[in-house]
Chains A and B, each alone.
Chain A
Amino acid sequence: MPRVRFDRVTKIYRRQSRQFFWRFLVERLGRRRAEPIYALRDVCFEVGPGRALAIIGRNGAGKSTLLSLVAGLTVPESGAIDVEGRVLALLELGSGFHPDLTGAENLRVNAALCGLTRRETDERFDEIVEFAELADFIDEPLRTYSQGMILRLAFSVAIHAEADILLLDEMIAVGDMDFQRKSFRRIREMKQEGRILLCVSHVPEILKELCEEAIWLESGRIVLRGLAEEVIDAYASGAPLYEGRL
């Protein structure tokens, strides 16, 4: 069963000088370490199968860092992260795309990056193309695609990758109304199949529609946790709630 659990997770970034080598020398010789910046501080939460969690907060509050930690892209300073199941990060759709390759070639590279095997990719190829509504253009180079077409292709590959845990960062609103409706339906189906969803977005309606629970991050700390409706409304009204909750 897929599961995501954070237990007092803290992530620190240090200010990086451009001349890393010299800074490194100075630090080693002078025993001086750069001022730490807390990206996340003592964050605890748990998400079980079939649940969706919304993560809200201002820019720089630590939302993307949290998703990177779930995906295992970066390691925490302290605390325990327990992730069971295969994670698929839709942090930025189309990260592996190359403009000179055709849609079909990019599709295969991206499917492999999403963890599909050769056979799974071959089996689902037509389905992915059909979902992306790109049948007529799939053999054209990607640089001839519109932004919407590229996102549709990437999104379609990702939701056919059958990951247990899906991370969505600001990328839920893809394509036109029809495509969005179709994508939402597919995401809800995936939840019913027991998959976990973690969403970051600045669009409250989307979060309320997809998620049951939410956490509100402020400077790396969880300020408020609870039902998605309530947390999102509190955040939207800008209530100075967090003063008391810290």
Chain B
Amino acid sequence: MRPRNYGFLLACLVARDFKIRYRNMSLGVFWSLLNPLVLMGVLTFIFTKIFPPAGVENFHVVVLSGLIVFSFFSLAWQSGTMSIYGNAALIKRVPMPRELLPVATVLANGLHFLIQIGLLLALALWAGYRVSALWLLLPVIFALEVLFVCGLAWITSALDVYFRDVRYIVESSTTVLFWLVPIFYSFAMIPPEYRDLYQYNPVAAVVLACRAIVIENRLPPTSLLWKLPAVSLSFLAGGYLLFRRLRRNFADYL
């Protein structure tokens, strides 16, 4: 296959994944907004009414920033993991660059993420936060998360072909991570000895950076600014290398 075709093929695969997710639903793409809004409502209710107020202003914006970053991560990783197994028909029958499949699935989820980022920024402005030059950093930070998930999806989708247990390991990991990512608590509440560790988790790092920029209107800590790209890009590179090694026998094991 000629290399110049990959862009169009990737665009077609992303469009396919994006379209089939909400096709035939009356609310269509609004589900992308409704899901995080409902969760935001519930968590805001619990942590301002049931548990004593944590003294955080605009708790709903804080929660939503954590929620959308996490939900992109967990949905994109889980569906990315299944993307090779789920496209077995293509793997076995169509000569195409197989590494595009997990990427396409992650990017299709990325489109929903984009809509949710819009929702977050709209709610932030509504709550009285101001646009600043720092917001220019946001696309970079979100892009790093997308690259991180691409790397993860390459690793787990390739391993899942050989060990089908991988998908359940991924599922459990996302459940665990829901609690280990500061979604409904803030970075300040984490005991100092664990903070360094938290920054190595790219999902937590993205949440922290996003909150620093949008809510606190300050530059994220420098330690975080190098850890996030370092971890994300090493996962991307490592994932690609592993995927390339494992892909030659995909057709025989699916």
Contacts and interface: CB of A to CB of B under 8 A. Distances in A.
B19 A105 contact: yes
Nearest to A74: B251
Nearest to A71: B95
A109 B253 contact: no
Contact of B9 (A89, A98, A100, A113): A113
Contact of B93 (A16, A20, A92, A98): A92
Given A16-B253, A21-B163, A98-B16, A89 B93 contact: yes
A88 B5 CA distance: 14
Given A72-B95, A87-B95, A112-B5, A98 B90 contact: no
B16 A101 contact: yes
Contacts of B1: 86, 115
Nearest to A94: B89
A190 interface: no
Contact of B8 (A20, A68, A112): A112
Contact of B5 (A16, A98, A115): A115
Interface in B88-123: 89-96
A29 to B, nearest CB: 17
Decide if the interface of chain B is mainly helix, strand, loop or mixed. helix
B193 interface: no
Interface in B4-35: 4-5, 7-9, 11-13, 15-16, 19-20, 23-24
A113 B97 CA distance: 10
Interface stretch (A45-53, A116-124, A172-180): A116-124
A20 B92 CA distance: 19
A108 interface: yes
Contacts of A108: 12
A226 interface: no
Interface residues of A, number: 31
B162 interface: yes
Contacts of A109: 12-13, 15-16
Nearest to A97: B89
Interface in A80-115: 86-89, 91-92, 95-96, 98, 100-101, 105, 108-109, 112-113, 115
Contacts of A75: 248-249
B5 A116 contact: yes
B20 A98 contact: yes
Contacts of A21: 163, 165
A73 interface: yes
A74 B252 contact: yes
Interface residues of B, number: 33
A82 to B, nearest CB: 16
B93 to A, nearest CB: 4
A71 B94 CA distance: 8
B8 A121 contact: yes
B204 to A, nearest CB: 31
Contacts of A117: 4-5, 8
Contacts of B5: 112, 115-117
A112 B94 contact: no
Contacts of A87: 95
A113 B163 contact: no
A75 B4 CA distance: 25
Contacts of A72: 95
B4 to A, nearest CB: 6
Interface in B162-185: 162-165
B245 interface: no
B2 interface: yes
B239 to A, nearest CB: 21
Given A100-B20, A105-B19, A95 B8 contact: no
B2 to A, nearest CB: 7
Nearest to B19: A101
Given A20-B162, A101-B20, 16 more contacts: A72-B95, A89-B95, A95-B90, A96-B90, A98-B20, A101-B16, A101-B19, A105-B19, A109-B12, A112-B9, A112-B13, A113-B12, A115-B1, A116-B8, A118-B7, A118-B8
25 contacts: A20-B162, A20-B164, A20-B253, A21-B163, A68-B92, A73-B91, A73-B93, A75-B248, A75-B249, A86-B2, A87-B95, A89-B93, A91-B93, A92-B93, A96-B89, A96-B90, A96-B94, A98-B16, A100-B19, A101-B23, A108-B12, A112-B8, A112-B12, A115-B1, A118-B8
